A and B are shown apart, each in its own frame.
Chain A
Amino acid sequence: MLNNPKLEQINPISINLTGIRLLVIFSLLLESPKTAEEINEYFERNNYPKECFSVDTLRNDMNALRYAGCEITRADKTNDYKYKLLAHPFELDIDETEVLNLLKLYKKAYLFLNIPQLINLENLFNLLANYTKRESVSEELKGISLLKDIDKELLKTLLIAEKNKNIISFKYKSPTAGMLNYKFKLCYLNFRSEKLYINGYNLTYNKFSFLPAANIIPPISIHLEDTQLYTTEIRTVYELKNQAMKNFQEKFDEKIIETHSDKILVEYTAYDFFKLNQRILEYGPNCTVISPESVRNYTISTLKQMYEVYKND
Chain B
Amino acid sequence: MTKFNNENTTIAAYRVFETLKFIIKQPAGVSDIQKYLESLNINEGKVYSKGVIYKYITTIKFAGIDVARNKCKYEVKNLPFKLPFSDEDYKTIILLEDIISQICEKNLTKSVKKLIYTLKMRSSISESKISELKKEYKPIKLDVPTEKQIKIIEKYEKFCNDKLKLSIDYQNIYGEKCKLKAEPIEVKFENNQIYLYLYCELTNDFIELNSNQIIKIIQMPTKCSTTQKQKLAHTTIFKLSDKLAKRYKPRNNEIITQADENIIITNKTEAKNKLLPRLLRYGTFCEVQSPKMERNKIKEMIAKTLSNYNISV
Residues of A within 8 A of B (CB): 1-5, 10, 14-16, 18-24, 26-27, 30, 57, 59-61, 63-69, 89-92, 94, 97-98, 101-105, 108-109, 112-113, 117, 120-121, 123-124, 127-128, 131, 175-176, 195, 212, 241-243, 246-247, 249, 277-279, 281-288, 296, 299-300, 302-307, 309-311, 313
Contacts and interface: CB of A to CB of B under 8 A. Distances in A.
A102 B112 contact: yes
A21 B16 CA distance: 10
Contacts of B10: 18, 21-22, 57, 60-61, 63-64
B257 interface: no
B216 interface: no
Interface in B15-33: 15-18, 20-21, 24
A64 B9 contact: yes
Given A18-B13, A19-B13, A21-B13, A282 B302 contact: no
Contact of B21 (A69, A246, A249, A282): A69
A112 B142 contact: yes
Given A21-B13, A98-B115, A284 B91 contact: no
Contacts of B141: 112
Contact of B112 (A64, A101, A112, A306): A101
Contacts of B79: 90
A19 B19 CA distance: 10
A89 B21 contact: yes
Nearest to A214: B249
B303 A307 contact: yes
Which 6 A/B pairs are nearest by Cβ-Cβ distance?
A19-B16, A3-B64, A175-B246, A22-B13, A285-B304, A66-B2
A178 B308 CA distance: 40
5 contacts: A2-B64, A16-B59, A22-B16, A121-B95, A249-B192
Contacts of A278: 281-283
Contacts of A103: 252
B72 interface: no
A interface secondary structure, majority: helix
Contacts of B96: 105, 121
Contact of B63 (A24, A63, A108, A279): A24
Contacts of A299: 309
A307 B313 CA distance: 8
A19 B56 CA distance: 8
A215 to B, nearest CB: 9
A92 B59 CA distance: 23
Interface residues of B, number: 99
Contacts of B307: 285
A98 B62 contact: no
Contacts of B91: 120
A233 B157 CA distance: 45
B49 interface: no
Contact of A285 (B64, B142, B174): B174
B89 A124 contact: yes
Interface of B: 1-5, 8-18, 20-21, 24, 55-56, 58-60, 62-65, 79-81, 83-85, 88-89, 91-93, 95-96, 99-100, 103, 108-109, 111-112, 114-115, 118-119, 122, 140-143, 171, 173-175, 189-193, 210, 212-213, 243, 246-247, 249, 252, 276-278, 280-284, 287, 292, 295-296, 298-299, 301-309, 311, 313
B210 A247 contact: yes
B59 A20 contact: yes
Given A57-B10, A120-B88, A306-B284, 9 more contacts: A2-B63, A3-B80, A65-B17, A101-B109, A247-B212, A281-B281, A282-B278, A282-B280, A306-B283
Contact of B309 (A67, A92, A288, A309): A288
B14 to A, nearest CB: 4
Nearest to A99: B115
B161 to A, nearest CB: 15
Given A243-B173, A246-B212, A281-B280, A67 B306 contact: no
Contact of A120 (B3, B55, B92): B92
B17 A94 contact: no
B8 A15 contact: no
Contact of B58 (A14, A26, A94): A14
Contact of A63 (B5, B119, B243, B277): B5
B13 A15 contact: no
A92 B118 contact: yes
A175 B246 CA distance: 5
A276 to B, nearest CB: 11
A189 B99 CA distance: 22
A176 B140 contact: no
